[in-house]
């Protein structure tokens, strides 16, 4: 982590990113000890999945209601404890959320899983409760300009508007989660002082929000600036009541989450497949991908209760629906591994859909295939392929016996190729090689 801090404070960032954004990366000049251990990592982390709400509302493609319901149900099966289902806002402002009632009525509510919804005002709260919502969320901002441009009122005025929501929620016995946007930087006024964030977080907590999620809305936070912000907020709100909501616009999300974990945070917001772009940076990534967060947490020995494989299936489903690629590095890497290790014996121009990746062996840059692979392949006789059939393993793949005398160093050897013991025959710069699946993993 000390190395990370040295990197983000280099003055060379100014020439690369511009002076405006360099200020974010060099704002907190902390020593390694300030970011480093002394704090033990939590044994367990609660992940709040925000993809169906925060993720989809930033997607331009309108997702069918049935697909939203399927996505939430798939996420429920993955073991996620909290899934933000939708938002009870005006369809005029957020068309993607126009089917909020249908979504709430259509999802299969799994015991032990919470399905909160966003309610910006009393009208939204009442509609949410009527639709069956058992938990809601409200949003505040630490930036005056952001608040005025988005909801046409000051930060303090926005908090006053939430009073009636909090009173109604208390009467109905509905827990409320609070969000604070722009906790590090604002697209309109630049750097946001940690004291402003602490002020808003304290107000929301004192109003009755059981948990405060701190959102780096434009993703400019670094381990240094996140640490400074968390230090200020934790003086006003118990760490046990805090969560972080990181965007990966500048590729800092996982590093920022690690810092938060070291400071005692045990609740992380994330979005499956990295759904949701950054509306203030065209083409940039938005929410950090849940798959990447889970992979990192499991690597740290932290329990999440999430099945990563099922989570990636959910990400693949919604990405196919949106006709977009996943933003999850873990999903991308897993897809490439499947291409290398599992598709060796199909025709070279066959199009495959694995997860959210669509490719052919000919187009894949990982390896170039020799013609003899096609010659010994059981797929040689298959003339017509469709995407639907390509996603399923043909029967011939399960057990195939073929002589590899033409390509094997041992010309008398016979090899059994199955889906668990794959032999790859590849031509690399004119040299013939045979490698097993395990060799590729190395």
The domain segmentation of the chain, as residue ranges, is 46-336
Q: Rounded to an integer, what distance in angstroms lies between the CA atom of residue 264 and that of residue 369?
A: 50
Percent of the chain exceeding pLDDT 70 equals 65
For the ranges 149-163, 185-199, 374-388, the one whose mean pLDDT is highest: 185-199
252-302 confidence digits (pLDDT tens): 999 999 999 999 999 999 999 999 866 655 555 689 999 999 999 999 999
Residues with a catalytic annotation lie at 278
pLDDT at 59: 84
Q: How confident is the model at residue 3 (pLDDT cuts 50, 70, 90)?
A: very low
pLDDT at 33 over 60: no
Indicate the CATH number for domain 46-336.
3.20.20.70
pLDDT at 125 over 50: yes
66-101 confidence digits (pLDDT tens): 999 999 999 999 999 999 999 999 888 889 999 999
Percent of the chain exceeding pLDDT 90 equals 58
Q: Mean pLDDT across the chain, nearest whole number?
A: 76
> Are the C-beta atoms of residues 138 and 165 closer than 8 Å to each other?
yes
Q: What is the dihedral of CA 113, 297, 342, 423, to 10 degrees?
A: -140
Q: Rounded to an integer, what distance in angstroms lies between the CA atom of residue 177 and that of residue 305?
A: 22
Instruction: Tell me which of 1-15, 124-138, 286-300 is least confident.
Output: 1-15
Q: Rounded to an integer, what distance in angstroms lies between the CA atom of residue 359 and that of residue 340?
A: 11
Q: How confident is the model at residue 437 (pLDDT cuts 50, 70, 90)?
A: very low
Single pTM value for the model: 0.72
Spell out the residues 6+ positions from residue 328 whose beta carbon is closer than 8 angstroms to its own.
Answer: 272, 273, 274, 289, 290, 291, 292, 312, 315
CA distances from 276 to 85, 89, 196, 332 (A): 14, 17, 26, 17
pLDDT at 28: 44
Q: How confident is the model at residue 176 (pLDDT cuts 50, 70, 90)?
A: very high
Handedness of CA 122, 123, 125, 129 (dihedral sign): positive
pLDDT at 353: 43
pLDDT at 216 over 60: yes
Spell out the residues 6+ positions from residue 194 whose beta carbon is closer than 8 angstroms to its own.
Answer: 228, 229, 231, 232, 233
> Are the C-beta atoms of residues 178 and 214 closer than 8 Å to each other?
no
pLDDT at 138 over 70: yes
């Amino acid at each position: 982590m000390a190395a990370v801090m040295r990197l983000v404070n280099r003055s060379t960032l100014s020439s690369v990113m511009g002076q405006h954004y360099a200020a974010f990366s060099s704002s907190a000049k902390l020593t390694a000890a300030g970011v480093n251990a002394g704090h033990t990592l939590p044994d367990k982390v609660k992940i709040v999945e925000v993809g169906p709400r925060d993720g989809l509302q930033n997607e331009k493609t309108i997702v069918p209601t049935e697909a939203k319901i399927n996505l939430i149900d798939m996420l429920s099966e993955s073991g996620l404890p909290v899934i933000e289902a939708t938002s009870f806002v005006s369809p005029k402002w957020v068309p993607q959320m126009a089917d909020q009632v249908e979504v709430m009525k259509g999802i299969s509510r799994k015991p032990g899983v919470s399905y909160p919804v966003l309610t910006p005002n009393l009208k939204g709260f009442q509609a949410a409760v009527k639709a069956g919502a058992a938990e809601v969320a409200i949003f505040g901002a630490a930036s005056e300009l952001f608040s005025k441009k988005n909801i046409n009122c000051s930060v303090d005025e926005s908090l006053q508007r939430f009073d009636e929501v909090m009173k109604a929620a208390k009467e109905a016995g509905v827990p409320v989660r609070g969000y604070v946007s722009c906790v590090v930087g604002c697209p309109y006024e630049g750097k946001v002082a940690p004291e402003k964030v602490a002020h808003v977080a304290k107000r929301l907590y004192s109003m009755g929000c059981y948990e405060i999620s701190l959102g780096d809305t434009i993703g400019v936070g670094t381990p240094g600036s996140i640490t400074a912000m968390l230090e200020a907020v934790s003086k006003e709100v118990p760490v046990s009541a805090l969560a972080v909501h990181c965007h990966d616009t500048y590729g800092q999300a996982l590093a920022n989450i690690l810092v938060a974990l070291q400071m005692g945070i045990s609740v992380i917001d994330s979005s499956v497949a990295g759904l949701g772009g950054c509306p203030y940076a065209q083409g940039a990534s938005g929410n950090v991908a849940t798959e990447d967060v889970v992979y990192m947490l499991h690597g740290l020995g932290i329990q999440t209760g999430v099945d990563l494989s099922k989570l990636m299936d959910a990400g693949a489903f919604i990405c196919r629906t949106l006709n977009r690629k996943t933003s999850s590095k873990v999903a991308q890497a897993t897809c490439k591994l499947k291409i290398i290790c599992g598709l060796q014996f199909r025709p070279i121009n066959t199009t495959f859909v694995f997860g959210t990746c669509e490719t052919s062996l000919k187009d894949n840059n990982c390896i170039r295939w020799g013609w003899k692979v096609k010659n010994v392949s059981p797929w040689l006789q298959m003339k017509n392929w469709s995407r639907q059939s390509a996603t399923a393993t043909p029967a011939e793949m399960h057990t195939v016996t073929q002589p590899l005398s033409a390509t094997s160093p041992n010309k008398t050897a016979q090899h059994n190729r199955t889906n668990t013991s794959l032999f790859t025959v590849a031509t690399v710069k004119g040299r013939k090689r045979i490698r097993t699946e395990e060799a590729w993993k190395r």
